[in-house]
Structure 1
Amino acid sequence: MPELKRILQQITALSDVPDPAVLKRLIDELRVTEKEPVLANDNIQNLIDVIRQHPEYGDGLASFVLKLIIQYRQIALYTDTGIMSDQGFFNSLRRLVGHRLLPILPQEDSVVELVGYLFNKRSDERWLANIDKEKWDELVELLRVKEEHLDLVATAKNSILNAIIILSYRISGLGLHPDLMDSYPQMLNYSASFVAQNQEAVLFVNQYRQAHELDTLTDITPEKAVDPAPLLVMIEQCEDIVATVRKRIYKTGISIRLTNMMLRLDQSLQRMRILTELVTDDYNKRDLAVIELIQTLITTANRRYSIGYLIDNNTKLLSRKVTENASRVGEHYISTDKSGYQKMFKKASIGGFIIAFMATTKILAYHLALAPMGRAFINSMIYGLGFVFIHVIRGTVATKQPAMTAAAIASTISDGSGKKSHQLTKLSELVVDILRTQFVAIMGNVMLAVPVALIISFAWLQYTGTPMIDTEKAGHLLHDLDPFRSLALPHAAIAGVYLFLSGLIAGYYDNLAVYNHVGARIQRHKLLKILLPKSWLQRFGGFVEANLGAIMGNFLFGVFLGSTATIGFIFGLPIDIRHIAFASANLAHGLFNMSADDISWNVILLSILGVALIGIVNLMVSFSLALFVALRSKEVRFFEWGRLTKLVFGHIISHPSDFFWPRDKPMKYARIDSQGRMIFDDTSGQKGGKPIPANYVVRRLSDVKILPKSMQGNMKNDPAVTDIQYDNQTSDSNFDPEMTSREAYSTTHPTMAKQVIDLDDGLMDDNLNSVPYTDDIQYDRSTKALDSFATSSNEISRDEADNTDSDSKGAGDAKTPLPKPKKPPNLPS
């Protein structure tokens, strides 16, 4: 406590000439170790107590921080920090690797560098996150600035308002980007929302600056607060449109570039909302915005040179891309009722029948004298082509479903599906349905693979008179199933990883087929148009586009399984694969061809146990990885896995039969029907279940109107210089037709004639929000703040402007060069 008091005394004394080193001393005093994070609240409480006893310290600390921060570039803090960059992954990685070899020069005028100096410990994020919200609110309440220092608040607010305008223009650009238009052509009908939010942002900023008199570097409290509701409504509409585009991705596909763009659009809209709340009079929202910005800034400052953080963000982007596009093949089905349960069993039975022949073919292939790579090729073709064939004849392979359900999981925990606790409850129920579906799929595979394999071995013996495999090979097959004396379980885990990868591959190729319009392009192929009738070509193109993901996922899954043992042999590694369906077929072949002297109940039971454990490991590994990717793509934090596990185990105790037999009343999920198919309904995420209307733009101003068609003919010959009509301007009879530039005309004529245009955005007779050009934002010469009014005429001469005192707080001229910012204090290396 005495040390805190001394530091605050020094900060108050230096409030006019702030030194970052003094503020760092205060932060070091408040910092706690990772072993005692709970002490963070005690330290903050000590700070609060000192400031409460000495109110002058609160003003001194607030003034010190504000004066220090305004010496740095702030706008980048609000517009860029915590928002994903549009720079490519490899360019960013090359930059950070180069930083390890030759350090990047710091941007000394950036607030991020200042924060990186103040919070230079990796643990700062955690102990700050442990501080209670009530403590933050109490501290912010005490940090009041006196009237003589309101110019500091005005300067900071000007920077925030500038950032709102910059973000607004960026959002407009992203919302009207050609890539977004291509993925969702109907975006043209909603484009006015992105334009209108910019109009509302400009209007809000200008009104706020005028009401609070920020241009004179004061921050008065107006009698009537400027209402941010219209701007927030437009932000919400833009967010709804982005959500609608996401629902259309299954039809259009998505690229990494578009995924990055939509994520930046989401983050920019959220940041714009935070900045708007930061300058409003709602103290609760303001304090929350301050805390969120502080935590974002500290995180960015600590991780700006971290390669791991870059990889973490981009893998999250990749997982979002995979889960955004849901495959439309049968392996995404999840049985939620008895009919779906029976259907899955039939499909798995078909798969088990084919797998028995695949396992037999693979065993017979061992008799071929092949080089290692030749053996890998043969095994890969047996697996890969066999899996593709199973898919084509509408069968399924056990353990494939969990790896293919990332889209269903992601939809269950979608951003708009409610609170996290409700999402986890739905997710736990979905896990139960997935596990039950997996159980019946395994049973279908095994119950057909085992008897069919026995029949094959018996028929071989009857037809040839010799066993299909010798006793040594049969013993080797059973040994590979031993869960204790072989590497069966680690090999089963490897197969589980491949199952997971096959799901990602299927999602990737499904997305690729849709995004690149593979079906339509196949139908335009010149050679195929000659070889196939038109109806056949259409069916073939549709089949490839609908099944490319499943075909490539199954084929490459087979290649993984067939080549792993050979790769292990070449590199001297004990790696192989074990899959439950093939293991069950090998169990039948091994037991049938084993000599009677070597067979015992111990061997039989141990082999059956091995098959069961192999299936469990296959299932758990593939499902856990798929679940991790889905949760990661929706940014569900890792510590919630514990809650999810408790919910699942609680269901095992209360309703164990649900894991083996369908429920009496099937569960209904956000976007999954009773058959387990994904529901792609554009209206499912909208409020009240209603689609976005074609004129989904709420415009507050009535001074701008769309030109009625009856008047368009009369305006064709008018020399219009503006594309929007403003009712608050008077007509000017001195209009010069040669002045075609809106800027030139508005500079020489403070008022303009009413001009209108028919906006081709699918909207009819709606009011548009806008502001007159003479009310556009401009930079003030002395404050670098956005000025709400430009010079309306040339009444002030250049000589008079030159004689104006450099400290003047009046409105500036947009053409006047901006003054160079003061160089902030140098930070210690």
Structure 2
Amino acid sequence: MAELKDILHKINALCDSPEPYVLKRLIDTLRVSEAEYKKNNDLANEKIQALNTLLKKHPEYANGLAIFVLTLLNQYHRMSLYTDTGIFSDHTFSSSLMRLVGHRFVPLLPEDDSIVELVAYLFDGKDDERWLACIDKGLWDEMVDLIMVDDAHFDLVATVKNNILNALVILSYRVSGIGLHPDLMKAYPQMLDYSAAFVAQNQEAVLFANEYREAHQLDDYLDVTPRRDIDPAPLLVMLDQCDNIVNTVRKRIYKTGISIRLTNMLLRLEQSLKRMHILSELLTNDDKKRDKAIIELTQAIIVSVKRRYSIGYLIDNNTKLLSRKITENSGRVGEHYISTDKSGYKKMFKMAAIGGFVIAFMATIKILSYDLDLAPMSRAFVNSMIYGLGFVFIHIIHGTVATKQPAMTAAAIASTISDSSGKKSHQLAKLSELMVDIIRTQFVAIMGNVLIAMPLALIISIVWLQVKGTPMIGIEQAEHLLHDLDPFHSLALFHAAIAGVFLFLSGLIAGYYDNLALFNNIGERIARHKLLLRFVSESWLQRFGTFVENNLGAIMGNFLFGVFLGSTATVGFIFGMPLDIRHIAFASANFSHGIFNMAADDFGLGVVLISLLGVALIGTLNLLVSFSLAIIVALRSKGVEVIEWKTISKLMYTHLFTQPRDFFLPRPEPMKYAKIDSQGYMIYEEANKTQKHKLFPKHFAVRRLSSVRVVPEGVAIDTSHTDEMNEKKELQDKLTTDQPTTPTEKKIVKLDVQEFELVNPELLETGIVHSDTGASSSNDKTKNAKTPLPKPKNPPKLPE
């Protein structure tokens, strides 16, 4: 306490000529290391509480600390702090990686006038992120409330507010640029044609900034309390509409596809809109919102500054971006991977039985192919074609291969974790139930494959012996097949894990090519191919294009999965590594061939049981590895923390011990999920039942690009707008009286396969539509905006 008091006293004495090292002493005193935290979990809160107690007891210290911090910040260039720090960069991954790798050898030059360097100097502890995260939110709120500036130093507050307003306008222009980017307009052209939210938010941001600056006399370095508060509600309305457009674009991804560039763009758009919300709340008179915005912005800046040179953070951020791209496209592979009721359960078994039937012959052909004397690369090619073409054939005849975990499953998992799905505890409970349904579906798929492939392979060996008069394979080869299934004396489990990785990768590949077909309109381009139209009819080519678009992902995923399986052993042979694969369906067929053709003297119950155990463990590893990777990718895209993984595991274990039947048989009452139907298809609803025939939600301002302003109902309006209010009322009365007799005023908009009607009165439900005169007056205010503040003097040099 005495040390804190001494530091605060020194800060109060130096508040008009601040030095960074003094503030660093205060932060170092409050900091709690990892070792200290392990000894006392409440130590961080105790130190903050001690600081708050001192600030309460000595208000002059709180005022001096506020003046010290604001004066110090005003000596640095702050704009990039508000507009760039914590917002995803538009640089490519490769260029960012090369920049950071180069920094390891030749460090980048620091920007001495940037406040980022000041933050990096103040918060230089390796455990600062954890330290700040463990501080109680109530103590943060209390500290922010205590640190206030007196009336004599409102020029500092005015300077900070001016910078916030400038940053708000800069972000607004960036949002307009991203929102009207051709790639985004291509993703949802209809909405952007009729909603000028991205342009309107910029108009509102500029108008709000100028009105706020003028009302508070910020250009005169004052911060007076105006007679009428400048409400940011109109701006927030437009920001919410921009958010809704982004969410709608995400919902349409399963129809339009998405690229890494567009995924990056949407993420930057979301972050910029969120930052604009925070900056607007920094200027509000609501103490709770303002304090929350200060805390949120401060923590985001500190975390971003700490990680700006981290290669691991860059890789982590981009893999999350890739995860989001994967999970945001459902991968329409034409197969059901999640069954929630008895009908879906039975259908999955039938599909798996079809797959098992084909796999029995595939395994037989692969065994017979070893009679050919081939070079290693030729062997890899033959095996790859057997696997790849066989899997594609299974897909075409509507069969399935056990343990497949495509991007569709990852999307199903990710859909249960979203900002609009309720409380996080409820989401995690739903997620655990979904995982039970996925495991049960994979179990029945395995049973369908094994229960058909195993007896059919045995029948093939018997028929071969009866027809040919000699065994299909020799005793030595049969023993080799059984040895490969032994979980104790071979690398069967390791090879099964490799196959699990390939199963997962095949799902990602399916999602990638499915997305590629949608994003590039492959089906329509094939249907209009001039050269092909010379040889086939237009209707046939249309059907072929539709088939390719709907099945390209599944075909490529299955084929490349087969290539992975067929070439792994050859790659291992070339590099001298014990690489191979084991898949449960092929292992079950090989078990039958090996048992039937092995030497009679070696046959015994022990061999049968060990081989069956190997088959079961191979299937378990296949499922466990591929399923775990799918969950990791899905949950990483939603930012699920490690502590929440523990919650999911606990829920799964509890379910296993209380209701083990649900992991193997359908539930008596199937679970209902927001985006998954009873058969496992992903559902993307763009309108609920109450808005079935409306193009936009009721709160949307539906309009073309024009200079209009929309103000929500309940927002305080200046009395100078009385004439405009009267004009609005007359217009509304006219529309009300003319509507029954003027049906030609209705506008029909075609969106996808539906038609929607735009009715003019809906424009007035959102708020007040000002006339062109009002718009021109607001533009005049923009033109008459005063010059920006002069550049601050050079900041104090940070200690080495």
Is the structural similarity TM-score above 0.5?
Answer: yes
Q: What does 1:648-663 align with in structure 2 at a 5 Å threshold?
A: 648-663=652-667
Runs of 4+ in 1 over 6 A off after TM superposition: 685-690, 725-728, 759-763
Instruction: Verify: 1:142 aligned to 2:157, yes or no.
Output: no
The aligned residue for residue 112 of structure 2 is 108
After TM superposition, the structure 1 = structure 2 runs for residues 241-320 of structure 1, keeping only pairs within 5 Å, are 241-320=245-324
Separation (CA, whole Å) in 1 of partners of 2:533 and 2:299: 60
Written as runs of structure 1 = structure 2, the 5 A alignment for 1:483-494 is 483-494=487-498
CA 1:661–1:689: 2 relative to 1, 3 Å: farther
Match of 1:696 among 683, 697, 700: 700
State the 1:524 CA deviation: 2.2
In structure 1, the gaps of 5 or more residues are: 707-724, 729-758, 778-787, 792-810
Matched, 1:29 2:29: yes
Match of 1:3 in 2: 3
The answer to which of 819-828 and 149-158 deviates more is 819-828
1:416 paired residue number: 420
- Equivalent residue of 1:415, what SS? coil
Q: Relative to structure 2, which stretch is displaced further, 63-72 or 213-222?
A: 213-222
Q: Does the aligned pair in 2 maintain the 1:494–1:576 contact within 8 Å?
A: yes
For the 8 Å contact 2:412–2:676, the answer to whether it is kept is: yes
Aligned residues between the structures: 748
Counterpart pick for 1:346 among 329, 347, 350: 350
Letter of the 1:193 partner, please give it: A
Q: Structure 2: which 5+ runs fail to align?
A: 711-720, 725-746, 750-757
Asked whether 1:591 is paired with 2:562, we answer no
Distance in 2 between the 1:216 and 1:501 partners?
62
Q: Could you tell me how far 1:403 is from its partner in structure 2?
A: 6.0
Residues of 1 paired with 2:277 and 2:102: CA distance? Answer: 36
Shifted more, 125-134 versus 84-93: the winner is 84-93
Q: Which moved more, 1:163-172 or 1:490-499?
A: 163-172
Distance 1:573 1:2 in 2: 65
Distance 1:261 1:410 in 2: 20
Question: Does structure 2 conserve the Cα–Cα contact (< 8 Å) formed by 1:403 and 1:622?
Answer: no
Q: Which residue number corresponds to residue 822 of structure 1?
A: 793
* Cα distance in 1 for residues equivalent to 2:264 and 2:759: 29
Q: CA deviation at 1:774?
A: 6.5
- For 1:427 and 1:561, the matched residues in 2 are separated by 31
- Residue 209 of structure 2 corresponds to residue 205 of structure 1: yes
Greater shift, 207-216 or 466-475, is seen at 207-216
Matched with 1:600 is 604
Q: Distance in 2 between matches of 1:159 and 1:813?
A: 13
1:400 aligns with 2:404: yes
Contact 1:190 1:241 (C-alpha < 8 Å) held by counterparts: no
Which of 430, 433, 436 matches 2:434?
Answer: 430
Alignment partner of 1:174 is 2:147: no
Q: CA deviation at 1:170?
A: 1.5
Q: Which residue of 1 aligns with 2:500?
A: 496
Structure 1 CA distance for aligned equivalents of residues 203 and 229 of structure 2 = 19
Determine helix, strand or coil for the equivalent of 2:195: helix
- Say yes or no: does 1:98 pair with 2:113: no
RMSD: 2.6
- Using the alignment, how far apart are the partners of 1:812 and 1:57 within structure 2? 35
Bigger drift between 175-184 and 441-450 goes to 175-184
**Which residue matches 2:737?**
none
Paired with 2:576 and 2:544, the residues of 1 have a C-alpha distance of 44
Equivalent of residue 567 in structure 2, options 529, 549, 563: 563
TM-score by length of 2: 0.89
Correspondence list, 1:513-662, <5 A:
513-662=517-666
Distance (Å, rounded) in 1 between the aligned partners of 2:28 and 2:137: 21
Partner Cα distance (2:321, 2:117) in 1 = 26
Contact residue 469 and residue 593 of structure 1 kept, 8 A: yes
Q: Secondary structure at the match of 1:467?
A: coil
Give, in angstroms, the shift of residue 357 of structure 1. Answer: 0.7
Mapped to 1, the partners of 2:531 and 2:597 lie a distance apart of 51
Change (3 A) 1:54 1:431: same
Equivalent-residue separation in structure 2 for 1:609 and 1:644 (angstroms): 29
Partners of 1:316 and 1:790 lie apart in 2 by 43
CA contact (8 A) 1:193 1:696 kept: no
Q: Does 1:119 align with 2:129?
A: no
Within 2, Cα distance between the matches of 1:358 and 1:629? 31
Q: Residue 632 of structure 1: CA displacement?
A: 1.1
| Rounded Cα–Cα distance in structure 1 between residues aligned with 2:348 and 2:319 | 33
Residue from 127, 132, 137 that aligns with 1:133: 137
Alpha-carbon separation, structure 2, partners of 1:195 and 1:562: 54
Instruction: Check 1:448–1:146 CA distance in 2 against 1; reply closer, same or farther (3 A cut).
Output: same
Deviations 1:223-267 (A, max 9, x none): 543323222222112111111111111111111111111111111
Matches within 5 A, 1:27-66: 27-37=27-37, 38=41, 39-66=43-70
Quote the offset at 1:212 in angstroms.
2.6
Checking the alignment, whether the CA contact within 8 Å between 1:196 and 1:697 is kept in structure 2 is no
Distance 1:82 1:391, change over 3 A: same
Deviations 1:70-92 (A, max 9, x none): 11122211111111111111111
Judged with a 3 Å threshold, the aligned counterparts in structure 2 of structure 1 residues 726 and 51 are, in CA distance, closer, same or farther, namely: closer
Counterpart residue identity of residue 510, structure 2: A
1:469 equivalent to 2:473? Answer yes
Q: Distance in 1 between matches of 2:288 and 2:699?
A: 34
Which residue is equivalent to 1:735? none
Q: Which of residues 58, 64, 71 in structure 2 aligns to 1:67? A: 71
Tell me the distance in 2 between the aligned counterparts of 1:689 and 1:271.
34
Structure 2 match to 1:87 = 91
Tell me what 1:780 maps to. none
Contact 1:726 1:772 survives alignment (8 Å): no
> Could you say what secondary structure the match of 2:534 adopts?
helix
Checking the alignment, whether the CA contact within 8 Å between 1:402 and 1:622 is kept in structure 2 is no
**Does the 8 A contact of 1:682 with 1:691 survive in 2?**
no
User: What is the rounded CA distance, in whole Å, between the counterparts of 1:691 and 1:34 in structure 2?
Assistant: 53
Query: Does the CA-based 8 Å contact 1:398-1:438 persist in structure 2?
Result: yes
Counterpart of 2:740?
Answer: none
Between 1:340-349 and 1:650-659, the stretch displaced more is 650-659
2:515 is matched with which residue? 511
Alpha-carbon shift at residue 152 of structure 1 (Å): 0.7
Q: Which moved more, 1:84-93 or 1:45-54?
A: 45-54
**What whole-Å deviation, never above 9, does each CA across 1:569-624 have from its counterpart, x for those lacking one?**
11111121111001111111111111121122111111111111111111111011
Cα shift readout 1:531-553 (whole Å, capped 9, x = no counterpart): 22222211111111100000000
Q: Is 2:235 the counterpart of 1:231? A: yes
Q: Residue by residue, what CA displacement relative to the aligned partner does 1:146-179 show, whole Å, maximum 9, x if unpaired?
A: 1111111111111111111111221122111111
Alpha-carbon offset, residue 727 of structure 1: 7.4
Distance 1:694 1:2 in 2: 59
Partners of 2:354 and 2:399 within 8 A in 1? yes
5 Å-filtered alignment, 1:312-391, equals 312-391=316-395
Residue 625 to residue 704, structure 1, CA distance change in 2 (3 Å): closer
Listed as ranges, the matches of 1:750-765 within 5 Å are none
Return the offset for 1:790: 5.7
**Are residues 379 and 604 of structure 1, via their aligned partners in 2, closer, same or farther at CA, if it must alter by over 3 Å?**
same
CA contact (8 A) 1:352 1:446 kept: yes
Matches of 1:55 and 1:441, distance apart in 2: 70
**Partner AA of 1:20 in structure 2:** P
The one-letter amino acid of 1:178's match is: P
Alignment correspondent of 2:729: none
1:741-820 alignment to 2 at 5 Å? 766=763, 768=769, 812=786, 819-820=790-791
Change (3 A) 1:283 1:775: same
Letter in 2 for 1:358: M
Distance in 1 (CA, whole Å) between partners of 2:171 and 2:411 is: 31
Shift of 1:322: 1.3
1:330 alignment partner, SS class: coil
